[in-house]
Amino acid sequence: MSDTSLNAQSLPGDAELKDYFALLKPRVMSLVVFTAFVGLLAAPVSVHPFVGFCAILFIAIGGGASGALNMWWDADIDAIMRRTVNRPIPAGKVSEGEALALGIGLSGLSVMMLGLATNWLAGAMLAFTIFFYVVIYTMWLKRWTPQNIVIGGAAGAFPPVIGWVAATGTFSVEPILMFMIIFMWTPPHFWALALFMRSDYDDAGVPMLTVTHGRKFTRLNILVYTVLLAALAIGVSFTTAGGPVYIVVAVVLNALFLKGAFDIWRRDEDMSEADDFAVEKRFFKLSLLYLFAHFGAILADAVLLRTGVIG
Amino acid sequence: MNLAREHELHQRRRGRNAGVGILLVLLICIVMGLTVVKVTSGGFEAVVTGEGS
């Protein structure tokens, strides 16, 4: 007896390379790459360009590995949420086992290679970051508490610290300030997303603040966290991490961010529905520019300092 | 009977396997590059022994 049936549809195991790449959450990786790059270049120690390139590459791969493991664990809720239904696992292109193997393999590779390329403190920090994102945030906090994004946001805040440590081998106040900026930025960024994704998180049973405490309370928290973030971000201007470019960027962008948060707080659901959450979506887009601009400014000041333009 | 007739599945897998091969070659190049940089940067000191030196 012979089996001549050959199913032309893709089966798990027949995914293309781009499907495996999609598992790594490339858009999140771009943020990891950029902030780690800034941390590395802002450090007061010169690194061989090839070593620096490898450090950023393996930090990015570690970030991607975290993404793959997150998609492995959250495959059930990804299949329910509109935002994530086309991810490789719910779309049937990659199996859960493949995602798990890829995540674990890339985690091990990235940690080992970062440690060998730079130093073992940086490797250990990358390992801890992967552990924090996958175990603490994805497996534990995300489905358990509405503070999931507040605490879990720390995972996204580690890359600039890893970049700094990769260059210097030690900690300092500057990378901790960079960590704090991303840490305080994460809640308003994701809560704005939750506001205009409406029932997506509710349908999946994820305890986002919009679901557990209501949307009005979420709007208030966006404002509160934005005020705290603005105070921190502008306060960084007066430390060694700040500089002339940073001061200008911080003042302008935090003023815009505060206005956006205030507008979100003042609105109610009827107003938001009427314009399809235009203010919330604008705030979310601004939050992306906010983070890239702040870290771009830190980088610009570091370059100006290194080249002797500023003292 | 043409035993070598290809299916779209074979093309898809060939693409994937070629991609994995390229990535492995890149990894080897990275390891070699890092080795060259580390050795030429003076981080390793030659150990001179009394024998045969």
pLDDT in tens, A126-165: 999 999 999 999 999 888 888 888 888 899 999 999 999 9
Residue A13: predicted pLDDT: 56
Contact A209, A217 (CB under 8 A): yes
The percentage of chain B sitting over the pLDDT mark of 70, rounded to a whole number, equals: 68
Q: Quick one: closest CA in B to A54, which residue?
A: B30
Q: What's phi and psi for A10, nearest 5 deg? A: -75, 140
d(CA A51, CA B33): 9
Contacts of A113 in chain B (CB under 8 A): 30
Q: Between B37 and A13, where is the model more confident?
A: B37
d(CA A33, CA A233): 21
Residues 6+ apart with CB under 8 A from A140: none
Task: Please tell me if residue B12 touches chain A, with a CB cutoff of 8 Å.
Answer: yes
Residue B1: predicted pLDDT: 55
For residue A79, pLDDT over 60 is answered with: yes
Contact A64, A106 (CB under 8 A): yes
Buried b / exposed e across A98-111, counting CB within 10 Å, b at 16+? bbeebbbebbeebb
Q: Quick one: closest CA in B to A49, which residue?
A: B37
Contact A205, A77 (CB under 8 A): yes
Q: Which tokens sit at A233? A: 């971000």
Residue A94: predicted pLDDT: 92
Residue A205: predicted pLDDT: 77
Record the pTM. Answer: 0.86
Across A258-268, average pLDDT: 95
Tell me how far CA of residue A144 lies from CA of A140, A151, A194, in angstroms. 6, 12, 16
Task: Please tell me if residue A16 touches chain B, with a CB cutoff of 8 Å.
Answer: yes
Task: Please tell me if residue B21 touches chain A, with a CB cutoff of 8 Å.
Answer: no
Tell me how far CA of residue B34 lies from CA of A51, A183, A272, in angstroms. 7, 33, 54
Quote the DSSP letter at residue A45: S
For residue A32, pLDDT over 60 is answered with: yes
B12/A16 touch (CB, cutoff 8 Å), yes or no: yes
| E strands present in chain B | none
For residue A97, pLDDT over 80 is answered with: yes
Average pLDDT, chain A: 90
Residues 6+ apart with CB under 8 A from A73: A134, A138, A139
d(CA A17, CA A100): 16
Task: Please tell me if residue A300 touches chain B, with a CB cutoff of 8 Å.
Answer: no
Residue A8: predicted pLDDT: 46
**Tens of pLDDT, residues A180-196:** 999 999 999 999 998 98
30-49 in chain B: CB under 8 A from chain A: 30, 33-34, 37, 41
Across B32-47, average pLDDT: 79
A14/B9 touch (CB, cutoff 8 Å), yes or no: yes
Q: Which of A138-147, A170-179, A302-311, B39-48 has the lowest mean pLDDT?
A: B39-48
For residue A1, pLDDT over 80 is answered with: no
For residue B43, pLDDT over 70 is answered with: no
Contact A64, A99 (CB under 8 A): no
Tell me how far CA of residue A254 lies from CA of A147, A234, A261, in angstroms. 24, 8, 10
ipTM of the complex: 0.78
End-to-end C-alpha distance for chain B, whole angstroms:
69
Residue A277: predicted pLDDT: 92
Placement of tokens 């235009």 in the chain:
A278
Q: Between B4 and A271, where is the model more confident?
A: A271
Across A72-101, average pLDDT: 91
Residue B53: predicted pLDDT: 44
d(CA A61, CA A311): 36
Question: Hey, what amino acid is at A130?
Answer: I
Q: Between A153 and A225, where is the model more confident?
A: A225
Residue A5: predicted pLDDT: 45
Residue A143: predicted pLDDT: 87
Tell me how far CA of residue B16 lies from CA of A15, A21, A92, A95, in angstroms. 8, 11, 17, 16
Q: Which of A72-81, A103-112, B25-34 has the lowest mean pLDDT?
A: A72-81
Facing B16 at nearest CB: one of A17, A51, A57: A17
For residue A29, pLDDT over 90 is answered with: no
Shortest distance, CA A51 to any CA of chain B (angstroms): 7
